[in-house]
Structures are given as structure tokens and as C-alpha cells.
Structure 1
Amino acid sequence: MIQHLINDIDEADFDVTRGGQFEIIGWLYQYYNTEPKEVAFKKRKYAETDIPAVTQLFTPDWIVKYMVENSLGRYWIDVLHARNDSRSEVEIAQAYHWQYYMPESQQNEQVSLKIIEAQKELTEVKLEDITLVDAAMGSGHVLVYAFDVFLQLYESEGYSKRDATENIIQYNLYGFDIDTRAFQLSYFALSMKAREYNRRFLTLELSPNVFDILEYTDLSVQDFEDLITTDQQSSDITRLLNAFHDGNSYGSLIHFTDPIDFLEIESIIDTKPGEHQLSFESIELEEKKHKLKEIITVSKLLCRKYTVGVMNPPYMGSGKMNDVLSKYVKRHFTAGKADLFAAFMERLRMFVSANGYYAMITQHAWMFLSSFEKLRQSLTQDTLINMAHLGTRAFEEIGGEVVQSTAFVLKNQNLTEYVGTYERLIDFNSQDRKETAYLAAVRDQTVDYLYRTNQANFKKIPGSPIAYWANKNILSEFQIGTNITDVAFVGLGMRTGDNKRFLRLWHEINCELFDPNSKSADITFKAVKWVPYNKGGNFRKWYGNKEYVVNWKNDGQEIKANTKRVYPQLGNNLGWKITNEPYYFKEGLTWTFISSSKFGVRFSPQGSIFDVAGSSLFTTNHKDLLYLEALLNSKAAYYILQLQNPTLNFQVINIKNIPVKYYNESKIVSIVEKLNRLSSLDWDDFENSWDFKVHPLLSHIADDNLSIWYYSVVLTNRGAKNVPIFRLLGVK
């Protein structure tokens, strides 16, 4: 390992005079967790011991600086302005060399007055009063950079580096984690940072305020019953012990909805046994009192308010949480229960005091998905100051299009009309390019990827997505227009419960049992087993992707029986799986649920059932259906979908919320009819269609010149290779 450290890492990276050495600690620790992470990722649910490995992700240096400078730095600028410092925020930031600080936009008079009024409370703030917490500190990257910023602030106030160091460690920085090794690295990094500026630090008996949140499974309230004198003491101790029984699962999510009287509990553990009382039992009690004191120390800090919160929270979908963590998150963080990072968004907000700031980097799903709508509503009660919307590849070690990130700063103050600043960095395809683009936006705020918008606009769009790039015309249509849901039914389709058993490609079946034109579920299914099934597929507009069939014999008897067997709790109400059955076999529009870039709907004539991956839309009027088909296949519709949900999924709720404006209906319907007909002909020109007759290149050759070899080889070469040749020839 030492050889690799010497040979594989640039010597300059170890140069403490130019920074970067702390990043090595973080990267080494992340790769230390690589093997445990790979093992854990294969599990259906993560065990408590898996959580540190699967949630460890080292934050890039520039994003840490962005978060700290725009939260802690911004708060200090507020303090200076409260003291009547005449410099602009840009001038102050430049004086401290905060190159990642993004100045706020111009505000209206009402908002400006509220900001000034709030700043009046900061006139007496001292540096020792400003606290910063990282609720999932990892190896301490955020805390170490915050140390540097605090050091700048203290020096500007006339402190020596030695005195400043003591104050920073003692009063300003706090951190929590469930990973013991990460805690040790944070403790080490902060201690070495302090030692760098105060050579006597290691002899001062000062410890960084960073804590490993442990779990205590060997304590109960009965252990202290001889010391407890009130019911309130008993209740408070019980609550503490219950919370820390699973401390390694909950971490800093631990909080108490009702206050705890810590002074009363401390009076219990501070009692000293007399000499005549010494025994094995009393010694054991002292050990348990010591553990309770550890719990109290951490709990008091978990209940505290901090000026600034900064963190890169752990990511874990609700489906991967173990039962203990899942129940706790659902009970205490209902708005963020869909993912662990969202629960921490709620928790960090609880940590921060009025007029304080909190900054995070998270997955960007919370900005758009309906499962995070309540979270958005709670967060927008505060003020979204700035956002660096990163998109994919914000982390060098994570490739692909799945993980999309955003970094942002909020202020714990309700300024409804506040105009925030948003840097749209999603089109820059590497970590370094995103950083370069962000710095360019700081220097030149006229770049075309920097947006300024009133956060009140988000509520104008159904679901309140953080669609900061929406133009005024679209926002107006959302307010005054008719939504698709007012003129059509949009819904999910069926979940068969066992696709391997009930689904086939149409050329895999006995075509004598297939009816491609079933008009209703009421027909007699004695001779028919398979019917068409819309299941998404590749991107395609107007018509096509008709490849799958589903076993719907006797009105879906087998599928329904299997559903009842697997989900007995449903009884006869199978709507959760056999969804929207009244719309089966009706003409409608269908689309592909998952797509990496484009969106297109296809006309589906009578005779098909639809799947979740092929969600569908239905109207009572054929012309209305074609008009909506034109709308949904337009660039305007795709733009609106991206406003609501620029992820890989086109959800039913997003289609429902698209505004509809009618004009030139007859002409548009006529054009759509032609497009559907042409697209249908195009689909049927190839043998993956069950209505295929002849390849278009051969369509003008006389039948008597087409040999039986052509029918047996060419026509059966691809999708039709399993179709009886005589059926293709029209021979019964």
C-alpha cells in the first residue's frame, strides 16, 4: 500500500501548503469501503451494518466550497451588513477570496425590507455564537473547509490564529455520523487542522465536537430505578434509551418531538456512591451511568439549534431500508420517507435556527417527483437562495444517466417573493466542466445557463416542481388553461404479476389462439387466449410498438386467479394489479413510461390491453383523442413534461397536468389521421408486425414472380420466423 501511495499519487497532492491532502483521506476511505459496498448492493434490503458502506460518497472539493461559502459565508455577510458595513456582498466575498460565492439577485422593495428587518437581529452576533453542523459528516470534508472559512473570519476580527483555532474547535463546528471509522477520520482531520495553526493544541485537552452515534442495546430504564424519583425522569430516560437502541440505524435523524429535561436526568447520573456502597453492582451501575451520560451529551447536541447546516446526506431508497429504519423514517419524516436523503433534508431544516442557512447536495428527484411533493411544500416555506443544478456526472466515480444531483442553499426565513439564482449545469458532462461553468457564471451573470426566478412561480405548476427555467407564457397557461385531466382519462395499466408466464411476443404463440382485433372484454374467449398488449417499447410516435400479447383467456381468468393467490389481502378488489380494467380494449393513446431523452405517444385502436410501462389516455370522442395526440407529440408538450419531471420516467400525473389550448381543431385532426395512417403503413412494412404482407422494396414485383422460396425464407427470416407460412399467404 505504501508503494502505491508513493508511486500512484502525485507528490503535489501531499503538499499541505497548497491543499488537497484532505481529499486523499476521503478518497482512500471511500475506496476502503468499495468491497463491502459491492457486497451490500446485491442485497434486497440493507442491514444496519451495510449502511455506512452503501451511503459513503466523497463530496467533490468545489461543491463543498460552494455549499460552505454560500451558507456560512452568506450568513457572515448578513452580519457585516447588519453592522452597517458599506461594502457590497461581492466586495466582501472577494476580500475573503470566496470564488464560489454567488451574489443574490435584485429583490423587490417588499422582500428587501424583510431582509433588512431580519438582519437587525444580527447586530450583536459574535463569531463564537455562529455554529455549523454536518449531520452526516463522513470523513469531515465539509467541517475541514468550514474550519478554513471560520479562521478567515476570526482573523478579520483581529484574532490570532492560535486563539481562533481554540474557538473554532470549542464553539463553531459540530458533526455526527454512524460510521466509527469516518468519525475517527473527522476527529483526526480537525485535530491536525487545529495543530497546523496552534502547535499547543494537542496539549489543551480540547476535543473536536464530532460524535460517533452509537447504539446502546444493554441499557434499560430498570437499570436506574433506584435513582429515579419522578415519573418525568423515568419517561425521559425511556425515550432516550429507545432512540439509541438503534442508534446505528437512525444516526442524527434521532430527534425528540417533546422536550427532555436533561438537567433532571443529569442530576441522577451525577450522584456518587459512598465508599461503603462499593460493590460489583455499584461498579456496574457506574458503567451504565457513564453510558447514559454519553447518550445525554449527544442528545443535547441533537436537540440544539445551529446557525448553519451543511451536508451531503446518505442516499437510500425506501425499498432498501431495513424494517427498523423504514418504520422510523415513515413515522418521523413523512414528507421525505421516499428516500433517506429526503429524510435528512427535513432533519437538517430542524437543526437550523431562524434566519440561518442550510446547504446540501442531493439527488435531484425531490425537485420534481410526486412522491416528494409534500417535501417541496415544506421546503418552500423557507427561501431558496441559490441552486447549482448539476445533473449527471457530478461525481467522477458515478457514471451513466441514473444519478442526477443538485446542490442548493436555503435560508430559514419565509420570503415568498424572493428571486433566487439557479445555475443550470446539466449540459456540462463532467465534474470539471460543471465547476468551470459555475465559476464562469459567478464572474459573468449574463451567461445563458443562469436563471433568476421568483420561487412563488413554482406553485403555479401542478405539483410545485422546482422548474426554475419555465418561461412566463407557460406559467400563464398552467394558471388559465384546461388540463388534459379535464378532457380525458389518463391511467396506469395492468401488472400481470408474472410476465414470464402471461406475456409473449406475438410470433411466439399459436396464432390460432390470437385475436388482434378484440373489441371488448365481453366477447367469448373460448377460442381466444392471446390479445394485444401495449407495453411501451422503443421511442416511436403516432403508431407502432405492437409486439406483445397477454393471456386474457376467459376474461383474464388465470391472471386474476394468480393475483388472488399472491395477494390474498386484496380479496376480490384486484384494482391495484388489474388496474383500470373498464378501459381495456378501448381505442386510446399509449406511450413508453421510461425514456432517456424523447417522448412520443402512439394511437392504439380498439382491441388492446395496456401495461404500466405503456400507460394510456382515453377520451369519449375520437376527434378529441387525435387532437390530444397532436399536442402530446409536440415540442411544447415535451417542454412542459421536462418542467414537471426531467427524470427518465413519464408519469401519469405529469401527462394529466399538461394544459390544453384548442385551435384549428379540424385541420390538426386531419393531419394526425394522415400521420397515423402513414406510421401504421410504416410499421406494417416490416415483419415484426402481425399485419405484415410484403416488404416495401418488393411490393411492386408481380406475385407470379415471387417464388415459394421467397415466402419460406425472406418472409420468415425475422419476426415472422415462427409464424405458419400458410397463414401469411392467407391460406386457412
Structure 2
Amino acid sequence: MNKSAIQKFAIWARTELIAQVSQRAFQYGITAEDYGDANAATVNGQALTPSEQAQRRELVSEIQQKDYHQVMEEVAYTWFNRFIALRFMEVNNYLPSHIRVFSDSTGAFKPEILNDALHLELPGLDREKIADFIEKNQTEDLYRYLLLTQCNALNEAMPRMFERMGSYTELLLPNNILKADGILGRMVTDIPEEDWTDQVQIIGWLYQYYISERHEAVVDPLKGKIIQSKDVPAATQIFTTDWVVRYMVENSLGRYWIERHPESKLADKLQFFVKPKNGEITHINEPVKPQELTFFDPCMGSGHILVYAFEVLMEIYKECGYGERDAVAEILQNNLFGLDIDERCSQLAYFAVMMKARSYDRRFLSRGIEPQVYYPQKDADLVQFCSLLQVKDPGKKPREPEELTLFYQNYEVLLNDWNCRRLLSQKYAVVCTNPPYLNRYDAALKKFVTERYKDYSSDLFSVFIYRNFDFCKKGGYSALMTPNVWMFIKSYEKLRGYIIRNKWISGLVQMAKGAFFKEATVDICSFIFQNAQEKAPGLYFRLEDFKGDMEVQREKVLEAIENPDCGYFYEAKQSNFSKIPGSPVAYWVSKKFTENYTNKSVGDFGDVITGMTIGDNNRYLRLWYEININNAIFNAKSMNEIDLKKTYWIPYSKGGPRRNWYGNYEYLVNWSQKDNFNRSKTTLQHLYLHDGITWPFVTSGDFSARILPLGFLWDVAGSPCFFQNESIKLYVLGAMCSKAVNYILKVVNPTINVQAIDVSMLPLPDCGDAYKTKIINTVSTNCKLSQFDWDSFETSWDFKKHPLI
């Protein structure tokens, strides 16, 4: 698949379509500033037909309810969705007419439908109208009519993808659609035809690239600020890599079936199905019928996960003796369910599942069967919170009106929202999703998640990790792809504890840094939980050492499945994770590593403190050589000996580059302004100016630590720890500068930020007095040598002269 061509086209198409539909709106007297009389019968001296008047009224009403730019955006993506759907169908010969809409049999942008217009069999086609267009040589108008009629003809088979003719979206179908360099021409010529063939995931890639500029507009300028609920879809939708989808589905849905059917040969057909090193699969005496394999994606996006689940379910039904046509109906009626908060995603997921069904059943589009995939339309709570809502009872199903009136349209909306609540109230054998990654909530969402999911509300993805267990039947599986921070950092400790105590981590793949997001801002993992307590060691892949994109990660997973003794495939008991403070998911460490935590820790010997934050560094901090040195005080032992009217600049520990033992003493803080600081740690005044140890908060490479001399205050970036005597301090410093501690920190917190709690919990080696004395003496020597080195340069305030002089 040529993703570069797909990306280039989709990004261009969004801008072009918005411009084109806006131009069409302008033709009907509608702009961002004004829309005139909603009931106008003429615009710019041109009389409107009755249908145009009705469509224009509907368009104005929509703009009044929403916003001009939002409506133009929505119409643009509606036509984009229809165009790519029609293109996929024509290339795969899925159109009921079997006549191409955009190209000819050679693949050129020469719509076959134009040549066969008089012989075309489409519901609602007016042959006299066609003949009139041909007679007057109005090829553009003829093509517009045929295209709209084709969309209308598909309404009966796919009503949620193709609306009936007459809506305002028809009014805004772009002009000049037969231009070779227009939307349709470039769609045909820019994207190779083979990329559309039997690859419905192209729909998802097109959509992700289509919204990519919108994603950047929402996320980047608002970095660190709140994401409004209307922008959540654009900010969070990410297309899941194909092999990750296969890994998740095969080891959740596939495993659920295989465990309950010892006779099944399904595992042989699943490329990413993972077995223990001994090759034995644990079976459960709980046989299930294929109809009981309910599969739910609560954040379905464009339906990629649902489509592959369809394929696995088809293999299961065929294994049970079903024909493909019957299996399709069973899967859609009994097995497959999906929700998403976004309308456009829901449309594409609906279409993708329909096309997968059509690939197995040639007459599927005429059978009146639809996928059970929905998005909330009217219910306010559903629209805002969707799959996060906990619904015990969906209520009474709406009654269908006897006549097709306005009440029927309202009925369809009510039925849709009832179906959303129905899906939210059910339990499933398998829940599988790629949830949104978002921790900057608007007020309503923040209130909701903190009230309903308080202990797991650090990010939406962690909320969904917890939420998905509620969707699972007892013994069911929950599979996700998320950032890997939940495995390690403190803000997810309660989530880890809940999982380790109550659920089973069946398997996990930890990708290398930057594999999914090249900027390496988010590191990804994919995993499968069972809604049951631990029953066996989990199966883990550690791909940290294999730098590269997701294709590299795929190859390494397959190599490990083929050769479990590869060195990066692990079996681990999750009960061992609790033996390490903070319970990190440290599946690769040895038994000896966990035994270290029976020793005393740094926190047992002293006070490990989180430093202060002053807020405006540019205002309150200076390098020591930037100020009048007469206003500074060094080596003070007590705040009582400092006269802030004269000596208000005090040495300030602020991290810095990696340096062990001694050094990085450059900054002074204006303590006379302490009342203006964000957080000056006044409750710790008794520790001000004491000597101790400090370390840098930000550590992109190896960890380092050094002496904190007398007379210092301390920033959060250079937090301190204090000890009762010099010997303990030097002994702890020796441990903190060791390779062992560096390794431990990378296990318990493999991020770039080393917090006070991480240092406090570091285990110390338990060795005899003689060995401790040797360590203390060596550390003392190292500190003196490092001090000599630091003071040998002019950047030290204790510099006297260069040692070579």
C-alpha cells in the first residue's frame, strides 16, 4: 500500500473539498458572514427550483444551529466518505450495477457510467432526463445527475453511508467534478488501483490522513491547554497498525475460542497467536457456540479492529461447518458490535464492515442486514461521554411509527441512541480497542471521569483500561493498544495494583521508543487482559532494543513467536510485580532483582525531598556571575545568618547535565522574592541550607547524583536528600552513582523524569562494615577529585587558578 500517495491525496482533498463546498454555498448566497433570507426563491437574480429552495432552507437551518465553518467541514467529509466508498466498491466490483463510476476498465479517469448512461439500471433513474443532457451535450450535468442517482440507489443497502437525494449535501456537491486535476480525477490517478483491491483498511488510512491537519490544529496550539469535547475526535483518533490489530484480536477472540475447543485448528491460521515456551495451551472445560463469541470495540474509529475480528469469526464459523453466506448473517446479528463518539468514523466503520461482509457474500447488499455499529446522535450524555457511560438498562425499545412522517425520522434517531445504550448495557466475551489518549479534559469531561473513575482518571486511555473490564464477561478478554506509561509511573499505580490483584495480564508487547510515533512523544504497548485472576505466567515481548518503525517491531514479534528463546520473549508471574515498590510491570527482571527490595531503601536512611518551584525562572534565577557577588551568600549554615536586605542571592540546586560526585553549582535564587514563588516549601525550612545529595530530575541518559554542599536551596529539578551523618551520606551516594541503581531506575521508571519517590525507594546493598568503610572512603576520594575538577574552571565560584598554571 502506497501510504505516501494516500497521505498526500487525503490532506490535499480536505482543503480542496472545503473550498469547493464553500464555493457552492456562495453560489446560493451563503457565506461565513451572511446567508440572507432562508426562504429565498431567487439568489443573485437566479430562480431556485423548489428542491433547491428546500435544500437551501435546510442548509441555513444547519448553519444557524452549528456554525458555517463546521457545516462546510461536515459536508466536505461527507462527500469525501462517499467518494472513497464508491471508489472502493467500483474497484472491487461491489456496485450492484457492476458499472464503474469514476474510471474505465483500464483504470483511467474515464467514468464508465457516462458511456453506459442510457443502458444503466439504477432505481429512480429518469431516462428522459439523461437523453436531454446528452442531446444538449451537458456532460458535467449528466455526470452530476448519475453520481447523485448512484448514491441514492445505494441508500437502501447502506442508508447510514448514502442518504436519500434531497438533503443539503446534494446542493453542495462540488463543481467541475470531471476535471482531471479535481477531487475525483486525482483520487483515481494518485492512488494505485491495487491499493483499493480487497484492502478495506485503506478507508481508515485515508480518514486518518484526511483529518491529520485538523489534528495538528487542535493539538499543537493547545499544548498544555484543555481540549474541548467537540475536538476530542480530531485530537485522539489514531489508525491502529495492522499487525497490532491482528495481535490483539488473535490473542483475545482467537484465544477465547481455542481455550474452549481443544479440537480447534484455529491457532494454526493465526500468525500472531502466542503460545507459552512449552507450546502447551491451557484449555477450559466450557465449550461455547460461535454465536456466543460477542466482540465489542467501544472506540471503533474507522472499524479496522472490527473488520479483522470479522475475518477470525468467519474462520471459526467455517470450522463449525457454516457456509460463508450463513456465517456473514450470524456474525452481524450475534457477534460484532461497535461504538464511536464521532459520526464520520462511525460511517466509515459501518462501510468497512459492510464491505467485509460483501467480500464473503456476493448478494449481501440486497439482504437488508446491517452491522451493529453506532454513534450517539441526540442523547446529551451519550453524545459527550459515549462508551464511558455505565448503562445497566437501555430502557424500552422505541416503537416504530406506522407512517413515514417526521416522526419516523425522530424514531430513527431514538432507535439509534437506544441501540447505543443497549450495547453499553451488554457483557461481551471480548472487548478490543485502541482508546483515545487524552489528559487535558474540558470541565464537563473532567468532572465526569473524576467522579466515575477517580483512581484511573490520569488519562482517557487509563479510564478505558478500567472501563473495559465492566464490558467483559467473567473470563472474557480485554485487548488494547495504549501508551506504556501505565506500566511504570506513579500516577497509574492504583490502576496497576487493581490489575495485578484482580485481573490477568495474558500477554503484552512493549514497542521500542518512537516506533509508533516517530517523534517519540508517546511510547506504545499492546496487551491482553483476562477478566479473571492470574492463572499462569503472562507472555511478554520486550522490543526496546530494536529501534525502527512498526514494521521492524512486527518482524521481531514474528521472530520471537517462531523462536521463543530469542532473548526478548519473557514469561512472568505478575504477582512478582507487587514485590517491587510501585508495582511496575517489570516482566523482564530476574528473581534476584526483586529480592533486592527486602533490603533497606534510601528513604530508610534519610529524608528524600521534592524541591520547590519558583515559577518565573527568568525573573528570580541567575547564574552566579550575572549578579553583584556582594549581594550573594555562600556556605550559610542557617537562614538566621542571612540578611535578605544585603545578601539575598542564595545558591540553588537545579539539576543540570549528567555529572557524578560533585558539581553543576551555577545558579543563585533571589530569596527576597520567595513570597512570589509558586511553591517555596516553607514547611521544610528546617532543612534549608543543609548538606546532602542531589540528582537531576530530567535524565535522558544514565542517572547521576552528587554532593549537595552546605548553603543551598533546591529546585524540583535538583531535589535533595538529607542524612544523619557524613558516612551514611557517602555510602548512599556511592550506591546512587552505581550501574546497579541506574538499571533499577530504568526498570521502575523508564521515563526521563526521576522523582523523589523513585529515589526514596531505591534498595541499598546489604554488605559488611569493612566493605561499607571501603565504599565510603572511595566515594570520599571521588568527591574530592570531582570537586578539584569542577573548581579548575572559571564557571565555579570557588575557582582560584587553572591547575596547569
Task: Find the counterpart in structure 2 of residue 312 from structure 1.
Answer: 434
Asked whether the 8 Å contact 1:591–1:600 carries over to 2, the reply is: yes
> Are 1:598 and 2:770 counterparts?
no
Instruction: Quote the offset at 1:505 in angstroms.
Output: 1.6
Q: Evaluate the alpha carbon distance shift between residue 412 and residue 189 of structure 1 in structure 2; reply closer, same or farther with a 3 A threshold.
A: same
Give the Å deviation of 1:651: 1.4
Matched, 1:79 2:260: yes
Equivalent residue of 1:168, what SS? Answer: helix
Deviations along 1:581-632, one digit per CA (max 9) or x if unpaired, are: 3322111111111122210001111111111111111101111001000001
Partner of 2:323: 160
Task: Check 1:589–1:4 CA distance in 2 against 1; reply closer, same or farther (3 A cut).
Answer: farther
Alpha carbons 1:382, 1:411 under 8 Å: kept: yes
Question: Which residue matches 2:487?
Answer: 367
Q: Give 1:252's aligned residue.
A: 387
- Paired with 2:636 and 2:662, the residues of 1 have a C-alpha distance of 18
- Of 446, 467, 489 in structure 2, the residue corresponding to residue 347 of structure 1 is 467
Q: CA deviation at 1:366?
A: 0.4
Give the structure 2 partner of residue 62 of structure 1. Answer: 243
Task: Indicate which of 279, 301, 304 corresponds to 2:423.
Answer: 301
Which residue number corresponds to residue 102 of structure 1?
Answer: 274
CA distance in 2, matches of 1:494, 1:646: 24
Query: For 1:147 and 1:299, how far apart are their aligned partners in 2?
Result: 23
Structure 2 distance, partners of 1:637, 1:615, is: 17
Q: CA deviation at 1:293?
A: 3.9
Equivalent residue number for residue 675 of structure 1: 782
- Whether contact under 8 Å (1:494, 1:578) holds in the other structure is no
**Equivalent in the alignment of 1:514:** 632
Give the match for residue 5 of structure 2.
none
Q: 1:288 to 1:366 in 2, by over 3 A?
A: same
The alpha carbon displacement at 1:415 in A equals 2.4
1:105, 1:420 within 8 Å by CA — same for their partners in 2?
no
CA distance in 1, matches of 2:399, 2:208: 41
Q: Say whether the 8 Å CA contact 2:708–2:720 is kept in structure 1.
A: no
Among 572, 577, 582, the alignment partner of 2:686 is: 582
Q: Is the 8 A contact 1:494 1:579 kept in 2?
A: no
**Which SS does the other structure have where 2:302 is aligned?**
coil
Q: Which residues of structure 1 form unaligned runs of 5+? A: 217-243, 567-573, 701-732
The whole-number CA distance in structure 1 between the counterparts of 2:649 and 2:515 is: 47
- Structure 1: how far apart are the matches of 2:192 and 2:729? 63
C-alpha displacement of 1:384: 0.8
The residue number in structure 1 matching 2:572 is: 453
Q: Which has the higher contact order (CA 8 A, sep 6+)?
A: 1
1:298, CA displacement in angstroms? Answer: 1.2
User: Identity of aligned pairs, percent?
Assistant: 39
Q: Give a deviation string over 1:230-252, Cα, whole Å, max 9, x none.
A: xxxxxxxxxxxxxx424333121
Please report how far the alpha carbon of residue 289 of structure 1 lies from its aligned counterpart in structure 2 after TM superposition.
6.3
- 1:399 alignment partner, SS class: coil
Q: Which piece of structure 1 moves more, 288-297 or 597-606? A: 288-297
- What SS class does the counterpart of residue 356 from structure 1 fall into? strand
Change in Cα spacing, 1:272 to 1:135, as seen in structure 2 (3 Å) is closer
Q: Determine if contact 1:421/1:451 at 8 Å carries over to the other structure.
A: yes
Match of 1:388 among 509, 515, 523: 509
Distance in 2 between residues matched to 1:391 and 1:512, nearest whole Å: 52
- Please give the secondary structure, in 2, of the residue aligned with 1:35: helix
Specify the alignment match of 1:226 in structure 2: none
What is the aligned residue count? 614
Q: Contact 1:493–1:579 at 8 Å: present in 2 too? A: no
Please report how far the alpha carbon of residue 520 of structure 1 lies from its aligned counterpart in structure 2 after TM superposition.
Answer: 1.7
Q: What is the alpha-carbon distance in structure 2 between the residues aligned to residue 302 and residue 621 of structure 1?
A: 60
Per-residue CA distance 1:306-327 (angstroms, 9 max, x = gap):
100111111012xx11111111
Q: Does 1:488 align with 2:660?
A: no
Cα deviations by residue, 1:152-190 (Å, 9 ceiling, x for unpaired) = 111111111111111111211111111111111100111
Alpha-carbon separation, structure 2, partners of 1:287 and 1:434: 48
Distance 2:698 2:189 in 1: 45
* Match of residue 478 from structure 2: 358
User: Mapping of 1:266-665 within 5 angstroms?
Assistant: 266=397, 269-270=398-399, 291-317=413-439, 320-380=440-500, 381-395=502-516, 398-415=517-534, 418-430=536-548, 431-478=550-597, 480-525=598-643, 526-553=645-672, 558-560=673-675, 562-563=676-677, 578=682, 580-663=684-767, 664-665=771-772
Q: Secondary structure at the match of 1:421?
A: strand
Structure 2 CA distance for aligned equivalents of residues 136 and 688 of structure 1: 55
Counterpart AA for 1:665:
K
Change (3 A) 1:590 1:3: farther
Secondary structure of 1:607's match?
Answer: coil
Counterparts of 1:65 and 1:286 in 2: how far apart (Å)?
A: 40
Q: Deviations over 1:331-378 (max 9, x none)?
A: 111232001100010111111101111111110100011111111112
Go from structure 1 to structure 2 and tell me whether the alpha carbon gap of 1:546 and 1:509 turns closer, same or farther (over 3 Å shift): same
Shift of 1:5: 4.5
Separation of aligned partners in 1, 2:773 and 2:795: 33
Report if aligned partners of 1:213, 1:252 keep a CA contact under 8 Å in 2. Answer: no
Work out the CA distance in 1 between the residues paired with 2:663 and 2:564: 46
Give CA-to-partner distance per residue, 1:199-220, whole Å, 9 cap, x none: 2211222111111123x3xxxx
Q: For residues 468 and 333 of structure 1, what CA distance do their matches in structure 2 show?
A: 27
* Cα contact 1:601–1:633 (8 A) shared by 2: yes
Cα 1:295–1:641 shift into 2, 3 Å: same
CA distance in structure 2 between the aligned counterparts of 1:129 and 1:92, rounded to whole angstroms: 17
**Deviation digits for residues 670-718 of structure 1 (CA, Å, limit 9, x no counterpart):** 111111111112112222222223334xx33xxxxxxxxxxxxxxxxxx
Contact 2:200 2:355 in 1 (8 A): no
CA displacement at 1:455 relative to structure 2: 1.1
Contact 2:633 / 2:642 at 8 angstroms: preserved in 1?
no
- Give the equivalent residue in structure 2 for 1:722: none
Cα distance between partner residues in 2 of 1:656 and 1:106: 40
Q: Which runs of 5+ in 2 are unaligned?
A: 1-8, 10-183
Counterpart of 1:133 in structure 2 is 296
Task: Select between 401-410 and 597-606 the one with higher mean Cα deviation.
Answer: 401-410
Cα pair 1:36 1:50 within 8 Å, conserved: no
Q: In structure 2, what is the Cα distance between the partners aligned to 1:177 and 1:544? A: 54
| Cα 1:11/1:547, change in 2 over 3 Å | farther
Q: Distance in 1 between the 2:649 and 2:187 partners?
A: 63
- CA distance in 2 between counterparts of 1:659 and 1:690 reads 35
Aligned-residue Cα RMSD (Å) equals 2.3
- Do the aligned residues in 1 keep the contact of 2:394 with 2:418 (CA within 8 Å)? no
Go from structure 1 to structure 2 and tell me whether the alpha carbon gap of 1:578 and 1:45 turns closer, same or farther (over 3 Å shift). farther
